[in-house]
A and B are shown apart, each in its own frame.
Chain A
Amino acid sequence: MRLAVIALTAVLAAGAAGPAEDKGKVLGSSTAPLRLEVYSDFACPACRTFHEQTLPMIVHDYVMNGKLAIVNHEFPLNIPAHKHSREAANYATAAARLGIYEPVADALFRSQESWNETGKVWETVASVLSADQQKKVQALVKDPSVPAEVQHDVEAGTREKISSTPSIFLIRGAQRLPIPFPVNYGFLRSLIDGYFK
């Protein structure tokens, strides 16, 4: 919830994202000198930890002041334990097109154990949407371009040789640095601050 509020502010301040990105999944300014690309799976516990613990600090310290933009990518793992991940990614992508990615992502991560076991993904998503938003998300998720966008993210991640989630990259110009997980925020802060000295 806290992240959703911070994120909403950041999204409002955001400009246009790159051509290959879903603008609804970008937090922060398009002119930010640094970008943090995050590939995650909504059923992955480590992704939840990163989303709920580390990401709010990054948003507070670097996104709000325009130093960094966060670009979210879907990477639903194709394993039996995560059989509803792709469905969750589809709903989140549909929500992103309405500009409500973060509240949906927050809800999916918060209740991941529940929907991952019961398969009630839509119920989790619907719990944070208004009746009007529910209708729109349901309509959007049936649009073939939504699963195609998720698949595009998966293929991009595969090209990056991603084998686990979350996979995080810090990008500055042409430099693309893979950030080891779990993220030690002190070292990440030292790294980011180094670019602004």
Chain B
Amino acid sequence: MATSNNVVRWTTLVLRVVLGGIFVYAAWAKLRLPWQLFAMSIDSYQLLPTSLVELLAKTLPWFELALGLVLIAGWWLRISSTIVSALLLVFFSLMIRAAIKHQEISCGCFGPGETISWKTMLRDGSMLAGSLFVTLMAFVSRRSRTPRPAALPLDGTRPEPDPSLPPSASR
């Protein structure tokens, strides 16, 4: 049981760091180039007005960078992993939509120059699966760490204090 818990814990850790690293890399790939290139990638999905495209092109890479770093650090894990999962779900859905509409457009995932294909969909789908697993584990581990109130014995007597706990905790 302890071994399987360890496997789950290590898998979650590795997935979290890998996902965080991918987000940092994706942000760097966009930030090192003029924002207009990412704007053209977003615009090719033909979903948003130009003003929103421009705003997103200028801000999303910074958001991805922050999310990636927070994920690697393991801070606010339930919130950060949920946002990453939601973001990946949006990206993945947009790719599927583009594929259904036979749009041969740049994915925009890691800067320009990568057309949407089964490879990009497989990659983003895998990332989404990994992210959902990390999110699930973040909530499960949180619940298992939350102490439950001790049940009172049926005969109404006070439970014996746990000798392994410090006095203040056993009171």
Contacts and interface: CB of A to CB of B under 8 A. Distances in A.
Interface of A: 46, 161, 163-164, 177-184, 186-188, 190-191, 194
Interface stretch (B72-80, B91-99, B108-116, B143-151): B108-116
Interface string B102-122: 001110100011010100000
Contact of A184 (B34, B43, B104, B117): B43
Contact of B40 (A161, A163, A187): A187
B117 A163 contact: yes
A178 B43 contact: no
Contacts of A194: 34, 36
B82 interface: no
Given A163-B117, A187-B40, A187-B43, A177 B34 contact: yes
Contacts of A177: 33-34, 37, 112
A179 B105 contact: no
Contacts, number: 55
A180 B117 contact: no
Interface in B33-58: 33-34, 36-37, 39-41, 43-44, 50, 53-54
Nearest to B54: A187
A177 to B, nearest CB: 6
Contact of A187 (B33, B36, B117): B36
B104 A191 contact: no
Contacts of A184: 39-40, 43-44, 50, 53
Given A184-B39, A187-B36, A191-B34, A178 B44 contact: no
A94 B43 CA distance: 37
A186 B50 CA distance: 9
19 contacts: A163-B115, A177-B33, A178-B112, A178-B113, A179-B40, A180-B37, A180-B41, A180-B108, A180-B112, A181-B105, A181-B106, A183-B40, A184-B39, A184-B43, A184-B44, A186-B50, A187-B39, A188-B36, A191-B34
B114 to A, nearest CB: 9
A131 B108 CA distance: 48
Interface of B: 33-34, 36-37, 39-41, 43-44, 50, 53-54, 104-106, 108, 112-113, 115, 117
Nearest to A191: B36
A9 to B, nearest CB: 28
B31 to A, nearest CB: 14
Contact of B104 (A164, A188, A190): A164
Contact of A182 (B36, B44, B50): B44
B112 A179 contact: yes
Nearest to B39: A187
B115 A188 contact: no
A188 B112 contact: no
B105 to A, nearest CB: 7
A180 B106 contact: yes
Identify the interface centre among B53, B106, B113, B117: most chain A CB within 10 Å of its CB.
B113
Nearest to B38: A180
B104 A46 contact: yes
A164 B37 CA distance: 18
Contacts of A164: 104, 115
A164 B36 CA distance: 21
